[in-house]
Chains A and B, each alone.
Chain A
Amino acid sequence: MTEEIIIAGFGGQGVLSMGKILAYSGIMQDQEVSWLPSYGPEMRGGTANVTVIVSDEKISSPTLTKYDTAIILNQQSMDKFEETVKPGGVLLYDPNGISQHPTRTDIKIHKIEGAKLAAEMGNTKIFNMVVLGAYLKIKPIVKLDNVIKGLKKSLPERYHKLIPLNEDAITMGMKNVLNN
């Protein structure tokens, strides 16, 4: 199994940390992982994206042009990454802030109202975990308990009290993902 993912949105949406938690979850189940952020000056206040690869085998190129899954969280990223999904691949997006919905018919398109659900749960910061939950429902590449272990590893100790909230957010995402 090799899963090549691009996660793209605005800086501050938790794009990079979502990727990091996914990568750590892969390590927790003995898989190979790579996490490559965009680190250019465009990050400051603008778009942010990260390429995550989780695989049973050694990872070759950490930088890619085609992805198995694109998780898209703003319009700029939709414009840039819709076309990069491999035929038969998955595009998951949050319709909040998207004006041009995806149009491809050769890929599987899923929606998650991440921003809305996070606001309903009373904490917009867990938005990225709702989206992660939606992704893991579509592609259960890592087990939920390994995600929790991954969270423990990637969050500083002082934030560990927030892990149950993150777990709830993931479950919320899993329950509410919609097929297009």
Chain B
Amino acid sequence: MGELRLMKGNEALAEAAIRAGCDGYFGYPITPQSEVIEYLMAEKPYDRTGMVVLQAESEVASINMLYGGGATGKKVMTSSSSPGISLMQEGLSYIAGAEIPCVVANVVRGGPGLGDIQPAQSDYFQSVKGGGHGDYRLIVLAPSSVQEMSDFVPLAFDLSFKYRNPAMIVTDGLIGQMMEKVELFDPVPRLTDEEIKEKYPWATNGKPKGKERRIITSLDLDPHRQEEHNWHLQAKYQRIEEDEVRYEMLQCDDADYIIVAYGSSARIAQKSIQLAKAEGIKVGLLRPITLWPFPKKPIHELVEKGIKGFLSVEMSAGQMVEDVKLEVGGQTKVEHFGRYGGVIHSPEEVLEALKKQIIGE
């Protein structure tokens, strides 16, 4: 068993970056995720593993440092909160186009605009539908505990390198700020330059003699070649959709109704389900772990089993509910419930919404 610690979600994410063999973190402070860079600065990872931590001059600079570092085959990472992530969208689009692996964590806060500093889940569209321009996808992981804040860092790096695609960890102020017990995984050493050359022949880390120059770019002015590049990206996204869907189901076997919720909302919904059970209402939880690729198949299977209604619960005005509706395809009732703008719904409010909007009391 690994070392047990009581940590904030943000701290667990930072510690996991060091342990996952991350080569460089570039970030800019913003509430509610500033503990990530604070923890990294205090830990002096350069002394522990040689990992570089740099406070960039802005989020725009951070994401472009990821472009440069990632292009050399290094494991690079940044984190921010909603307004900062918006600033990174141009860079993310370039990184996706240039197929550079990297990890970006978004500790979501209430918006739009500067909004506030309280937890929200209103960046779902931005995360899964492409917040920047062009036809691209991010691999999006949504932790719902401090443990997963730690575990999903190496997972995000693995997926990101496996597919040469940026991966995003989408969480919120609640999970970022709360402390829970976390079992830390054993550290993985950083790759040496030789190992990187061996493992990632695409990386731009110097032209070897007798071989062609390697160029990483998202620019190709020939529309036919650009279309071909897009076909290649789409084929990759299809492979990810086939192989990388992750989700969790709780008490769905004999459920009449299903709550679909991720991250903090999934935790709150678990309590609502306990309260419902005490009242004799059979409701299960489908928790998407990958927001993209979205768990479509489990929804199809639940519809086939004759579920009487789905309640999509998220701290937003209703974003993920669109994807749930798409998969349910009008075959049964789908509704959204959530508080937003930084307000967290209570387990009781979720149960009331289920009764009112789905069961129809």
Contact = CB atoms under 8 A, between A and B. Distances in A.
A35 B178 CA distance: 5
Contacts of A27: 4, 6, 181
B267 A61 contact: yes
A34 interface: yes
B179 A34 contact: yes
A39 B181 CA distance: 20
B264 to A, nearest CB: 8
A99 interface: no
A20 B11 CA distance: 15
Most buried by A among B177, B272, B274: B177
A20 B6 contact: yes
Contacts of B264: 62-63
Contact of B178 (A34, A64, A153, A154): A34
Nearest to A28: B4
Contact of A64 (B174, B270, B273, B347): B347
B348 A33 contact: no
Interface residues of A, number: 22
A62 B178 contact: yes
B142 interface: no
Contact of B118 (A20, A23, A40, A65): A40
A40 B174 CA distance: 11
A61 B271 contact: yes
A25 B32 CA distance: 26
Contacts of B118: 40
A34 B181 CA distance: 7
B71 interface: no
Interface string B336-360: 0000000010111000000000000
A60 interface: yes
Given A23-B6, A24-B6, A63-B344, 12 more contacts: A32-B180, A35-B178, A36-B174, A37-B177, A39-B117, A40-B117, A60-B267, A60-B347, A61-B267, A62-B264, A63-B174, A64-B346
